[in-house]
């Protein structure tokens, strides 16, 4: 089995290493990951600059390709250039991210965007994140990722559908099972800290906390708070279908005569 692994915390991140060590038991793992941390880059791609690629060795062995780009760039360049001569990967796994990717954060997530790119390329894909920023123990998530690989490969997902997995940051024996969830819509209470730099210019630093998290365990954040592994099937079609008809009825027109007024 050929497994392509990437992330958004960068090729040196412990979460990536834990994932690689675990998935190696299933087959050949190829790492193509950002050279530096790329958190909250969203689904960015690099168009105006070229990408550079460096081969990274660890413990005297080839570990993977470090790319001077985003997670989406890594997946694109893996398929488009680096792995062109090799057998195509059977699956793409992105992670293990340090910090959950749930709720509206999903749209900012580089980890998820790499899986999106996999789905666009037609390869079975999932993103996996650990819901903590402190003292991470990736072992349960790494094991679960390994369990999920054959399931994701064997499940006939519709084109463009992939999984966003979040694992609670508790010891394995405290994990209370799996919950299939939807993306939560909890908002953030955000605040900018306004400070003054040494030249007396103002600068702004974003802080925030999630509020109004859904109480229903069928939403990603609540499932994790209840110590369950959250699995959300996602896709990249943003169309809000229920409104297609309603917009038709608005009968919007383009008035050419006022074109330049």
Region 116-175 residues binding a copy of itself, contact defined as CB under 8 A: 116, 120, 139-140, 143-144, 147-148, 151, 155, 157-161, 164, 171-173, 175
Residues 6+ apart with CB under 8 A from 229: 144, 165, 166, 167, 168, 175, 177, 178, 179, 223
Q: Does residue 183 bind a copy of itself (CB under 8 A)?
A: yes
**10, 71 in Cβ contact below 8 A?**
no
Q: Does residue 211 bind a copy of itself (CB under 8 A)?
A: no
Pick out residues in 2-21 that bind a copy of itself (CB under 8 A). none
Q: Which stretch binds a copy of itself (CB under 8 A): 4-12, 73-81, 90-98, 209-217?
A: 73-81
Q: Does residue 180 bind a copy of itself (CB under 8 A)?
A: yes
Tell whether omega for the bond before 96 is within 30 degrees of 0, i.e. cis.
yes
Q: Does residue 32 bind a copy of itself (CB under 8 A)?
A: no
Pick out residues in 228-257 that bind a copy of itself (CB under 8 A). 229, 231-244, 247-248, 250, 252-256
Q: Which residues are 165's β-sheet partners?
A: 128, 231
Q: Which stretch binds a copy of itself (CB under 8 A): 3-11, 89-97, 113-121, 127-135?
A: 113-121
Measured distance CA(52)–CA(8) in Å, rounded: 16
Measured distance CA(5)–CA(90) in Å, rounded: 11
Interface with a copy of itself (CB under 8 A), residue total: 91
User: Given candidates 55, 62, 81, 86, which one binds a copy of itself under the rule CB under 8 A?
Assistant: 81
**96, 130 in Cβ contact below 8 A?**
yes
């Amino acid at each position: 089995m050929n497994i392509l692994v990437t992330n958004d915390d960068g090729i040196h991140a412990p979460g990536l290493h834990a994932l690689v060590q675990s998935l190696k038991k299933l087959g050949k793992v190829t790492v193509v990951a950002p050279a530096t941390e790329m958190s909250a880059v969203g689904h960015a791609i690099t168009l105006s600059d070229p990408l550079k690629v460096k081969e990274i060795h660890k413990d005297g062995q080839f570990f993977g390709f470090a790319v001077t780009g985003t997670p989406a760039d890594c997946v694109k360049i893996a398929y488009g250039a680096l792995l062109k001569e090799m057998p195509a990967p059977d699956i793409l796994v992105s992670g293990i991210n340090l910090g959950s990717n749930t709720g509206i954060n999903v749209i900012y997530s580089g980890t998820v965007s790499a899986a999106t790119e996999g789905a666009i390329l037609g390869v079975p894909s999932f993103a996996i994140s650990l819901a903590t920023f402190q003292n991470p123990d990736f072992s349960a998530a790494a094991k679960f990722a390994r369990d999920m690989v054959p399931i994701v490969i064997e499940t006939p997902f519709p084109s463009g559908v992939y999984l966003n997995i979040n694992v609670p940051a508790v010891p394995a024996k405290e994990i209370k099972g799996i919950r299939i969830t939807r993306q939560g819509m909890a908002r953030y209470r955000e605040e900018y800290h306004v400070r003054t730099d040494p030249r007396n210019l103002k600068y702004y630093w974003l802080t925030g906390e999630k509020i109004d998290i859904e109480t229903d365990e069928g939403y990603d954040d609540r499932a994790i708070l209840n110590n369950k592994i959250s699995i959300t099937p996602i896709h990249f079609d943003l169309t809000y279908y229920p409104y297609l008809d309603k917009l038709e009825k608005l009968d919007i027109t383009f008035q050419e005569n006022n074109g330049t007024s």
